[in-house]
Amino acid sequence: MRCIRQEIRLILFQPKILNIKDLNILSEQLLLAVKTEKSTQSISSDLAGVDSSQLLSLTSEKHKLAFWINCYNAFFLILRKELNLKSPDIYRSNEIVIAGHRLTLDDIEHGILRRYRYKFSLGYLPNLFARKVIKDLAVDRLDYRIHFALNCGAESCPPIAFYNHDKIDKQLDIATESFLYSETSIDHERKKIEVTTLFKWFLGDFGGKKGILRIISKYLNQPTIGYSLIYKPYSWAENLSNWKDV
C-alpha cells in the first residue's frame, strides 16, 4: 500500500517536460487568460511544475525576452487583481512560482531581464547579492527596449502586448517607436526634448544622456545633437486595461 502511495505521489509531482516553444506558448496563454478574465490557475500550475532544466534551456535571447516579458505583465495583473497587492509589496511578493522557483516581479525585471542590475542605481551598478538562479536565468545582455514593453499598471506605463519569440525583435522596435512618439515632445527652437521619466530611472540602461539622444534620433528620425532633456512627470494613476497590438 505504501509503495502504491509513493508511485501516485511521484506521478502527481513529476515536473512537466516541455520544449522551449511550449514554454513561450504557456507565457502567451497565461497573458491571454488574464486579458480575457479567465481562470489562470491551470496555466500557473503548469508553469510552476515545469522542470527546472527546461527553464534553463531558454538559451536564446529571443525566447528569454518573450517568455519573461509575457510572464511579468501577466503576473503583475494577477498579483494586483487576484491578490490585491499594491506598490511596493507587489514587486516584492514571491507568490510567482515558475519551475519550482519562487520569484518576485523585481526578480524578473531587475534580475533576469536587466541582467541583475541593482534596482536603485539608475542602471549603473550590478546587484552583488543576486541569487544564483537569477544569474542562471538572466539574459546575456540588457536590451533597453524592454522598458517599453513592461507594464506596472500606471497610466504612464507602456501598454501590454503579446510577445512572440519569432517576432520579438520587430515587436520591441515597434513598441519602442510607438511609446516614444506618444511620450516625446521636441522643441527645435529651444533645443529641448521632453521625454518619459523611464529614461531617468534607468539612465545607465540607455547609455546615459547621449544614449537617450541617440535612441530618440533613431526612432523618431529627429535631430538631437546639442539638445537638452526634460523629464515628464509620471502619472501613477491606475490603468489595468492598457493593451495594444504590436
Looking at the fold, whether 165 and 47 belong to one and the same domain comes out as no
The answer on pLDDT for 126 being more than 70 is: yes
Q: Residue 50 in 3-state DSSP? A: strand
Q: What does the block give as the cell for 23?
A: 514554454
**Same domain for 183 and 131:** no
Between residues 236 and 54, which one has the greater pLDDT?
236
Residues 197 and 167 in one domain: yes
Higher pLDDT, 170 or 22: 170
- Look up the domain containing 131 and give its range: 1-142
pLDDT (tens digit per residue) in 202-227: 999 999 999 999 999 999 999 999 99
Local structure of residue 116 (DSSP, 8 states): S
Verify that 113 and 197 share a domain, yes or no. no
Q: What is the pLDDT of residue 15?
A: 56
Q: Are 43 and 36 in contact (CB under 8 A)?
A: no
pLDDT per residue as tens digits for the range 57-85: 888 999 999 999 999 999 999 999 999 99
- What is the C-alpha separation between 79 and 238, in angstroms, rounded? 14
What is the b/e burial string over 161-174, where b = at least 16 CB atoms within 10 angstroms of the residue's CB?
bbbbbeebeebbeb
With CA atoms as reference, report the closest residue to 123 among 231, 195, 203.
Answer: 203
Residue 3 has pLDDT above 60, yes or no: no
1 shares its domain with 112:
yes
Q: Where are the alpha helices (DSSP H) in the chain?
A: 2-12, 20-35, 41-48, 52-56, 61-81, 89-92, 105-106, 132-137, 168-183, 198-201, 208-220
Kindly report the average pLDDT of the chain as a whole number.
Answer: 93
Residue 39 has pLDDT above 70, yes or no: yes
Q: Are residues 113 and 235 in the same domain?
A: no
- pLDDT over threshold 60, residue 25: yes
Given this model, what pLDDT does residue 103 score?
98
